[in-house]
Each structure stands twice: as structure tokens, then as C-alpha cells.
């Protein structure tokens, strides 16, 4: 990653404390972090930001939209976007039958921040 071109990460997480921890950690690791607390905010960011490298999204979100339901249209708009799912219920993600869940990493909460960083580095390499 060059000094002037930060990787941009969108975090979609409805728990304010988890969102804060993830944002602070990834900012500290040198990523430019965008935050969304629900599907509506995530779609606004996806529609308005020309450059995103990675989305880290919770599966269970308020408003009846899941992380998978955000990731599917996001990848149609941005085929190069990388996705990592985070959830206290990782089996539910696979049960959606979405093709994205076959390739995207799924981290079960609670997870180690270093594990998240390793997954991000693999995806953005």
C-alpha cells in the first residue's frame, strides 16, 4: 500500500461498541474506514463513494437487511470489492445459499483483531 493511496474499508455493524473497536483498530492499521450501522447507511455509502476496497459486514442487522443482502448488490456494482462477514451466528450466513458465502471469509464473533487483519491482508494482496 503506497503512502498516498490508503485501502478503503466499509464496516457495517449495528453494535456501536464493536463498530468503534473495529474502526479504531483498522484506522490504526492504516486503513481509511467508513462506517454504517445498518443496510440503508451501507447502501448510501456504496452509492456515493467511488472507491471501496473491502467491506466488513455483520450478518444480522436492523431493518430486516442482512449482510449478505448488502454484499450481493454491492458486488454486482463493484465486482472487485472484497467482503468479510462477521457474526455471532456464522452458520446462518452459509445457510443463505448465496454464492458469496462460498468464497468470502466468515469470522465468528468474538474474533481476534489480528485474525481480521490477516484476512484483510490476504484479500487485498
- Tens digits of per-residue pLDDT, 96-125? 999 999 999 999 999 999 999 999 999 999
Summarised one tens digit per residue, pLDDT across range 26-59 is 999 999 999 999 999 999 999 998 899 999 999 9
The whole model's pTM is what?
0.94
- DSSP characters over 52-118: --EEEEESS-GGG--HHHHHHHHHHH-TT-EEEEEES-HHHHHHT--THHHHS-EEESS--HHHHHH
Return the pLDDT at 4.
47
Are 47 and 10 in contact, with CB atoms under 8 Å apart?
Answer: no
C-alpha cell at 89: 451466528
Q: What percent of the chain has pLDDT over 70?
A: 96
Cα–Cα nearest to 26, from 61, 49, 46, 53: 53
pLDDT exceeds 80 at position 3: no
Amino acid at each position: 500500500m503506497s503512502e498516498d493511496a490508503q485501502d478503503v474499508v466499509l464496516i457495517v455493524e449495528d453494535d456501536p461498541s464493536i463498530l468503534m473497536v473495529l474502526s479504531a483498530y483498522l484506522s490504526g492499521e492504516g486503513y481509511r474506514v467508513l462506517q454504517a450501522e445498518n443496510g440503508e447507511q451501507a447502501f448510501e455509502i456504496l452509492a456515493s463513494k467511488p472507491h471501496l476496497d473491502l467491506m466488513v459486514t455483520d450478518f444480522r442487522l436492523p431493518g430486516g437487511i442482512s449482510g449478505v443482502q448488502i454484499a450481493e448488490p454491492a458486488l454486482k456494482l463493484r465486482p472487485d470489492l472484497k467482503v468479510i462477514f462477521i457474526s455471532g451466528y456464522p452458520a446462518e450466513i452459509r445457510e443463505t445459499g448465496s454464492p458469496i458465502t462460498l468464497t468470502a471469509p466468515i469470522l465468528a464473533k468474538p474474533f481476534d483483531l489480528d485474525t481480521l487483519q490477516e484476512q484483510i491482508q490476504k484479500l487485498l494482496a
